Amino acid sequence: MAVYTEVSDEEMAAFLREQYDIGELVSAKGIAEGVENSNYLIRTTQDSFILTLYEKRVREEDLPFFLGLMDHLAERGVPCPRPIHGRDDRALRRLAGRPAAITSFLEGLWPKRIQPFHCAELGRALARLHEAGTGFALSRRNGLGPADWPPLYEQAADRAHEVDASLKPLIEAVLDEAARDWPTDLPQGVIHADLFPDNVFFIGERLSGLIDFYFACNDFLAYDLAVCLNAWCFERDRSFNVTKARLLLNGYRAERPLSQAELDALPMLCRGAALRFLLTRLYDWLNCPEGAYVKPKDPMEYAAYLTFHRGVASAGAYGLD
């Protein structure tokens, strides 16, 4: 469930009427998908929109970056939500005691079963996002980058064995590898950092939208590819699908060529991306309140991915010549 803050119809209608020029409220429905914020699909006499109330895991001081980035990308043709500005020309507001914003509504469905064409479309869209991010005036460090992994692990280290006895040695080995081998001089820019299938919409075989920019930051562009290789190219039995990986990478390279340094770093970047999601899943798994609406995701899924990447010696294992 992803409605943590309830807003009455009367309160929402007054919010729209007093602060926006987007018509009168017709309906509002909480959106069950997602785990970070409270989201509503609202329909007015003019159009459909998404209302987001930002909960405690999103820092209010980061919101100008996220909203400004969506404005910047949308103006450059990236199919992402566009923040709706109020009568005072501000996008960020407050509602029900929470920071809040309204964005445009994107048509489409996220793919429940990943097909090869999804990966090719994603690769092209990701490269276009990276190119469009050039020149964005604000910056934000990756709060879940390599420097943040050891302290995150420390919060779960004493209980990792409760999930599986293999986790502690696996995580500690990869933390050592990242400290020693993490690249330092790759092309950087704005990245999405969380482009999982449920953040990508399709209409038929056409990609129609990229959403949920609330982990976006400045980092290595190729790290974003590593996140996507993990999220899109493993099957339900946790085996790696090299065909999907090849289409993803070739789709990306058709729009933005990868340097040799980026290709050489890809196995380490994939390990790092797998470790990042393993650690956050492990923390959530061990700290899920009893009776919580949101079911934590299995950290062992990313342990399997991480084990695969540790056996990769070059980008050739991802389908590239």
Q: What is the pLDDT of residues 11-36, one digit of tens each?
A: 999 999 999 999 999 999 988 765 67
CATH number for the domain spanning 222: value is 3.90.1200.10
State the maximum Cα–Cα separation within the chain, in Å, rounded to a whole number.
60
Residues 200 and 162 in one domain: yes
The reported pLDDT for the residue numbered 321 is: 75
Residues 71 and 197 in one domain: no
Residues 149 and 256 in one domain: yes
Please indicate, yes or no, if residue 109 is contained in any of the structural domains: no
Residues 231 and 257 in one domain: yes
Residues 279 and 138 in one domain: yes
The residue out of 72, 104, 136 marking a domain boundary is 104
Residues 225 and 253 in one domain: yes
The encoded tokens of residue 161 equal 């064995």
Evaluate if residue 38 carries a pLDDT over 90.
no
The reported pLDDT for the residue numbered 34 is: 59
Residues 175 and 230 in one domain: yes
Q: Average pLDDT of 44-68?
A: 93
More confident residue, 59 or 251: 251
The residue out of 104, 136, 163 marking a domain boundary is 104
Residues 238 and 132 in one domain: yes
Evaluate if residue 6 carries a pLDDT over 90.
no
Each residue of 127-155: b (16+ CB within 10 Å) or e? bbbbebbeebeeebebebbbeebeebbee
Residues 93 and 129 in one domain: no
pLDDT band at 1 (very low <50, low <70, confident <90, very high): very low
Each residue of 30-44: b (16+ CB within 10 Å) or e? bbeebbbbbbbebeb
Supply the mean pLDDT for the chain: 94
Q: Which residues pair with 300 in a beta bridge?
A: none
Please indicate, yes or no, if residue 110 is contained in any of the structural domains: no
Q: Average pLDDT of 278-292?
A: 83
CATH number for the domain spanning 55: value is 3.30.200.20
3-state secondary structure of 99: strand
Residues 224 and 255 in one domain: yes
Please indicate, yes or no, if residue 66 is contained in any of the structural domains: yes
156-191 pLDDT, tens digit per residue, is 999 999 999 999 999 999 999 999 999 999 999 999
Q: Which domain holds residue 231?
A: 116-318
pLDDT band at 291 (very low <50, low <70, confident <90, very high): low
Number of domains in the chain: 2
The residue out of 79, 104, 129 marking a domain boundary is 104
Q: What is the helix (H) or strand (E) element at residue 266, kind and residue range?
A: helix 260-286
Residues 294 and 213 in one domain: yes
d(CA 70, CA 307): 35
d(CA 273, CA 309): 10
Evaluate if residue 316 carries a pLDDT over 50.
yes
d(CA 52, CA 55): 9
Please indicate, yes or no, if residue 250 is contained in any of the structural domains: yes
Please indicate, yes or no, if residue 2 is contained in any of the structural domains: no
- Percent of the chain residues topping a pLDDT of 90: 89
Please indicate, yes or no, if residue 32 is contained in any of the structural domains: yes
d(CA 135, CA 275): 30
Which residue in 185, 173, 320 sits closest to 265, CA to CA? 185
Please indicate, yes or no, if residue 3 is contained in any of the structural domains: no
Please indicate, yes or no, if residue 207 is contained in any of the structural domains: yes
71-96 pLDDT, tens digit per residue, is 999 999 999 999 999 999 999 999 99
The reported pLDDT for the residue numbered 56 is: 74
Residues 137 and 188 in one domain: yes
